[in-house]
Each structure stands twice: as structure tokens, then as C-alpha cells.
Structure 1
């Protein structure tokens, strides 16, 4: 009898032990559920340059909104170098990011990288500047042509028709350069005498140097339209005490402060913070399988002392 009871007890312990160690036990199912949830969405972001307050604001907005949405971002700075941007984007593609947000340095040069992302089935969103080829899910930007027209009309209103003016152009090949120049000349070609238009590559130091050269050759100019605020602020340094109207484009904090101080006459203000928010909201729509607009315009305003 004792042998029977001992045998029965051993069998019971064995069976109970097998039940506790079963692969289908509740504790292991919960563990699988915890680790098998939604994977984190990773967004690669390529910015043309972070040596410009406008794009710093754009980056900060993207980071803040992505964190709010629970997305991970990998941000790279092209440093206004098209070749570096191409390599940066290729690296992001190789890292298998889920989405790409690109602010192109050169609209043509970056096109091949967009096509590489297309081949890897990575949706691309461009911000502030478009690309010449490749499939883009959405292009988010201000209406640069309208902004150029706003700047030109302000100058006409200040100096009158037929006045001699100069134009500081942005990076050659950038869509913003083409569009802002187009808008400016839509008005200027009819109402102003554009005696010089030279590139200063969206750079403050170059804006100063180019403006000095323009003034030497054209001492009678009455106004300068710059394709961005950095060049406009550089032009102000070159002008010293000369009474010349200067209009920038972007609405950066430095430019707004200069307008308020009575130095810069006006800036066509974009909203880089809203651009960044819109880019991340567009990613969210794509994540959710929703349709997105192929072109999204962000409102502009002309900032003057008045």
C-alpha cells in the first residue's frame, strides 16, 4: 500500500510539473504579446543645412512633433553640399528607415536618391524645396512664387516704378531659388529696373560680399530683394548708412528682430515650425493608410514695421 501511495505521489508531481512548464502557459503568452506589438516607426530626415535659423526651426519642429507621435527620427545635415546629401540619403535608405523627409539642397542632384528610396518602397516627403524627378508622396512648402511677388510689390510701393533694384539669388538649382526669382520678376520686369541679379547661395557672408560688388557697379540702386533672410541681413551689413530698401524671405527670428529695429524693411515670412508639424502629420496619415495631398501649401505673410 505504501509503495502504491509513493508511486501515485510521484506521478502527480510529474504531471503537475509538466503542466507548469507547458509552452502554452499563460505567462509566456503574455510575454510574446508584450514583445510582438507594433514596431516603432523610424523617419529619416535630411536637412539642406543647419547653418541657417530657418532650417534649425524646421528640424526642431520635426523632432518635437515626432516625439509627440511616438516616432523615432534620424536627422542628418547636408551642410549645403549636394554630394553629401546624396550620400546621407543613401545611408538612410540602407538603414531601412520607414519614411524619408527631405529638404533638398539641389532639386536635381537629390532626384536619384529619391528614386533609390522609391525602389526600396520608402515613401518620401519633400519640404520647402521640390525634387525634379522621383515619386514624392507629398511636397510641403510655401507658395514661393506668390512670396516673390509680395516682395516685389512691396518694393514698388516703397520706391516707385522704374527704380533701379538688385536681386540676391539663392543656391542655383534649388526650386526655391527658381520660384522666388520667378515671382519677383513677374512684378519687377514690368515695374522696376533690375540692374543686377547674382547668387549669394542663401548665405549671409556671401550676401555681404555680393552686395558690396553690386553697389560698386550700380551705386544708384534703391532696393534689394534677397531670396532669403540670411542674404538680406548680409546685404544690410554691406549697405552701412546707405538708404536702400532691403527685403528678405523666410521670416526668421533674426530678420523679424531687424525689421522691428527699423533695419530690414520687410521679410516674406514662412512658417518652418508649421512645415515641420505638417510633415510629421503627413507621415502619420501614411502610417494609417490614408490619402495625402500631393502638394501642401503653408501660408505666407509680409512682415513690416507697420
Structure 2
């Protein structure tokens, strides 16, 4: 037979183990409850293959952590249909607000319409949503940036000559705005002629091919405006030794590689955006809306002209 004292001791030990297990369970539940207590916000990014949007995401994540927001990031890989599915998933998974960086401004309307009709707040960032009234739109002043680029490129080619434009993704608001700002301003230079415009989809490899082809068609072109730095870099690669000498090229974004190209004299300059600030402001807007606070319908983030003279301030 087992000793009675031993039996009592065993029961006491088991009771302590059970109590401990129960407390651990409560602790785990409390931790889970605290985590799930954070507001869930979805960030739908057009592509994370572009360093600019990686910076935008990082700015958003840092601000979300600061504000206690559970930020769920999805990469559409430049496909509008994928982004629409991601918007549906965000809603079904309980996102309280959605931040969208559209692949295509026109196509994004069908992605956000069900969210808006279900009273899920939507914030667009960098690129607008055409045809839908989102709660807030946060973007760089792309029209102003395009105009600034026109002035600097014109100056670099002596305010005369033939210019090529490397366009971004068709349908993207940033493409339209950067193109409008540039073309409206370049008209004031009567001795400058835009001889070709073609999309390279904000992509470096595509820009290499497009620039090569356009320069073959227009070998006397002396200026190129690339609507982002990835296309600038593709253009620089296509131009080879001509970059920065026979042909002046100007970009847009102010990415690390774009700035290096300016510092090296391969590019005349670029328009520096603040992608981390864009991400930060988008998350701030979502947080305010979820707290019932008012936000600005549109927020324009300043852009800055970068040339070899001031590039060191941005690197």
C-alpha cells in the first residue's frame, strides 16, 4: 500500500501543477487577446520589386508599430486582378481599414467599391483611385515634380533639342500626373520638341529595351525624361557612354540607385519623393479615421529637385 502521507503530498503537487498550467493558459489567452485587440489594417502595395514601394511599406510598418496597429501587407506584383482579390481578402479577414497603392488607378475602382459600400475606410497612397471617393488620398505632388523635371532637363540641354519620355504604368495616376506636369511645362521652351513617348511600366529592364529602340529611331535626341528612377537606370544602361554627355536623362523618385546615378554624372537629376513619409501618413490617416477623427481628403507631400550640386544632401 502507498503511504498516506505520500498520497497527500502527491495530490498537493498535482494541484500545484494544474494551477500553474491554468495560469499559463490565462497568460497565453491574455497575450492573444492583447494582440488581437490591435486594429487590423491592410496595406495593398502595387509591387515590392520596386525599391520605392519597399520604402513606402517600411515607413508604414514603422508607424503602425508605433500606433499599435496590426498592419497586413499584400504585394500585388503589378497585377490589378491580384490586387482586387487582395482587397476582397482584406475585407473577409476583418480589416478595419484598407490602404491601397493601386496597380492601375482605373482598375482600382472595382477593388475598393465593395469596401466603401461596406463602410470600410479606404486610403489611397501614391496613386489615386479613379471614379471612387476614398476617405483620404496621400501622394507626392507629381504634377509639380514633372514641371520641376522639365525645367532642369531643359536647362541641361541648353533649352533646345529633341526629348524622349519614358512613361510609367498606363492608367496609374502618377504616370498621368508626372507626364502632365512635364509636358505642360516643356511647352514653354519653344526650341524643345518631344519626339517620342512610350511606356516602360516603371521597370528597369523594360526601360533598357524601350530606350534602345527609341534612340535608334531618334538618334539625334539629346534629352530623356524617365517618370521614375527604375526607368532612368534602364535608360542609363541603354545609353552607355552617352549617358550624361551626349544625352541628358532626368528621373523621378530619389531612390538610392537613382541618386548614385546623379552623383556619378550619368543622370542630370531626379525628383526626390519621400516614400517612407507617404507610408507613415497613410497609416496615420487610417488610425485617425478608426478613432472617429477627421482627416484631410487629400494630402500632397512635397517633392524636391536633386542635381549633382545637392545630391549629397539626399544620399
TM bucket normalised to smaller:
0.7 to 0.9
TM-score normalised by structure 1 residue count: 0.87
Alignment counterpart, residue 58 of structure 1, candidates 56, 59, 74? 56
Q: Which runs of 5+ in 1 are unaligned?
A: 1-27
Report the Cα offset of residue 288 of structure 1: 2.2
Cα deviations by residue, 1:171-226 (Å, 9 ceiling, x for unpaired): 00000111111001012233120000100000000010000001100001111001
The answer for the alignment partner of 2:102 in structure 1 is 104
The alpha carbon displacement at 1:90 in A equals 1.2
- Matched-pair contact (CA < 8 Å) for 1:93–1:120: no
2:271 corresponds in structure 1 to 268
Bigger mean CA offset, 57-66 vs 159-168 = 159-168
Which structure exhibits the higher relative contact order, with contacts defined as CA atoms closer than 8 Å and separated by 6 or more residues? 2
Does residue 283 of the first structure (1) align with residue 286 of the second (2)?
yes
Please say which structure displays the higher CA radius of gyration.
Answer: 1
Name the CA shift for 1:35/1:273 in 2 (closer, same or farther; >3 Å). Answer: closer
Alpha-carbon distance between aligned partners in 2 of 1:189 and 1:228, rounded to the nearest angstrom: 21
Q: How far 1:285 moved relative to its partner? A: 1.4
Over 3 Å counting, the alpha-carbon distance change for 1:240 and 1:94 in structure 2 is: same
User: In 2 relative to 1, CA 233–35 (structure 1 residues): closer, same or farther, beyond 3 Å?
Assistant: closer
Q: In the alignment, which residue of structure 2 is the partner of 1:202?
A: 202
Residue aligning to 1:5: none
1:114, distance to aligned residue in structure 2 (A): 1.0
Instruction: Give the Cα–Cα distance (whole angstroms) in 1 for the partners of residues 194 and 107 of structure 2.
Output: 29
2:33 & 2:161 partners in 1: Cα distance? 69
Match of 1:150 in 2: 148
Q: Which aligned segments of 4 or more residues in structure 1 are displaced greater than 2 angstroms?
A: 34-39
Task: Identify the residue that residue 173 of structure 1 maps to in structure 2.
Answer: 171
**Offset at residue 260 of structure 1 (A):** 1.4
- TM-score normalised according to structure 2 size: 0.84
From the superposition, tell whether residues 174 and 205 of structure 1 become closer, same or farther in structure 2 (CA, over 3 Å).
same
Structure 2 residue ranges without an equivalent (≥5): 1-25, 310-315
Alignment of 1:212 onto 2:215: no
* 8 Å contact from structure 2 (residues 64, 71) kept in 1: yes
